[in-house]
Structure 1
Amino acid sequence: MKRQNSAKTPRPPKTVPKNDHYQRLGFLYQAAAQLDPNGALSRMYLRNMDVVAKKTVLKLDPSVKRTVCKKCHRLQLPGRTASIRVENTSNAQSAENDVLAVSCVCGAHKRYPIGKNRSYVLFSDKNEIKNN
């Protein structure tokens, strides 16, 4: 008798690896969001969140990364600690060249292209990933 080649599919883990680290990151982010965004304690929590994520080699969700300033570790709240505007510095002034510009009170700037593909969805926000 011949043996059939059965391609074994890897089973997903029953638990989330490094779950305690993810819980710590979530707690630090939520604690920083509850405090004054300009306060030293809030900034310390966000700095600790960044250090823990780097030491444990965990990837933060893009929605979390986009709300924290990389320079001063301050939570970016529109109107309070950050200003948000849509820029288009191209000569054509077409909608494809729109850029979302976020400026922190410390002087740091972030720019996200939003005009190329308006229907683009982040990998972490896709329904297939969340449902599994």
Structure 2
Amino acid sequence: MKKQNSAKTPKLPKTVPKNDHYQRLGFLYQAAAQLDPNGALSRMYLRNMDVVAKKTVLKLDPSVKRTVCKKCHRLQLPGRTASIRIENTSNAQSAENDVLAVSCVCGTLKRYPIGRNRDYMLFSEKNEVKDA
């Protein structure tokens, strides 16, 4: 038996599944960022973004999640709609126990540990992920 010479088909570029939903999420986030962060339309866009992400079972980037209040769906802008401070409630007062506290105007408080590893990068921010 002889091997058949088949023409090599060029590999198609990998496509992102549910690309249209990701585009819609990106549009809603950008539109909300352009509007007044205290306005009802901006909050409605961010609420709509959250609902679309949940219905289509998409995972939002952690940097996007950290900028939206889960209670009132406001874009958290330091000095305008959120206040940021570094807290350390440990008895030792060591730098390893620092916590970034972001409080929204609605009263919601988000806390992120930042003291353990100052060079920590989110998975989505690493170069290997962006290059691949």
TM-score by length of 2: 0.90
Note the C-alpha offset of 1:94: 0.2
Describe the shift of the 1:105–1:8 C-alpha distance in structure 2 as closer, same or farther (beyond 3 A). farther
Task: Give the distance between the partners of 1:45 and 1:35, measured in 2 at CA.
Answer: 10
Q: Which runs of 5+ in 1 are unaligned?
A: none
Note the C-alpha offset of 1:123: 0.5
User: What CA deviation, in whole Å up to 9, does each residue of 1:95-117 have, x standing for no partner?
Assistant: 00000000000000000000011
Describe the shift of the 1:53–1:8 C-alpha distance in structure 2 as closer, same or farther (beyond 3 A). farther
Note the C-alpha offset of 1:26: 0.2
Q: Which runs of 4+ in 1 moved over 3 A?
A: 1-13
TM-score by length of 1: 0.90
Task: Give the distance between the partners of 1:99 and 1:6, measured in 2 at CA.
Answer: 61
Note the C-alpha offset of 1:119: 1.2
Task: Give the distance between the partners of 1:8 and 1:119, measured in 2 at CA.
Answer: 46
* Equivalent in the alignment of 2:124: 124
User: What CA deviation, in whole Å up to 9, does each residue of 1:46-101 have, x standing for no partner?
Assistant: 00000000000000001100000000000000000000000001000000000000
Select between 32-41 and 13-22 the one with higher mean Cα deviation: 13-22
Describe the shift of the 1:51–1:12 C-alpha distance in structure 2 as closer, same or farther (beyond 3 A). farther
User: What CA deviation, in whole Å up to 9, does each residue of 1:32-52 have, x standing for no partner?
Assistant: 000000000000000000000
* Equivalent in the alignment of 1:3: 3
Describe the shift of the 1:116–1:34 C-alpha distance in structure 2 as closer, same or farther (beyond 3 A). same
Q: Which runs of 5+ in 2 are unaligned?
A: none
Task: Give the distance between the partners of 1:104 and 1:42, measured in 2 at CA.
Answer: 15
Describe the shift of the 1:102–1:5 C-alpha distance in structure 2 as closer, same or farther (beyond 3 A). farther
Describe the shift of the 1:10–1:18 C-alpha distance in structure 2 as closer, same or farther (beyond 3 A). farther
Describe the shift of the 1:14–1:85 C-alpha distance in structure 2 as closer, same or farther (beyond 3 A). same
Note the C-alpha offset of 1:3: 15
Task: Give the distance between the partners of 2:81 and 2:46, measured in 1 at CA.
Answer: 14
Q: Secondary structure at the match of 1:83?
A: strand
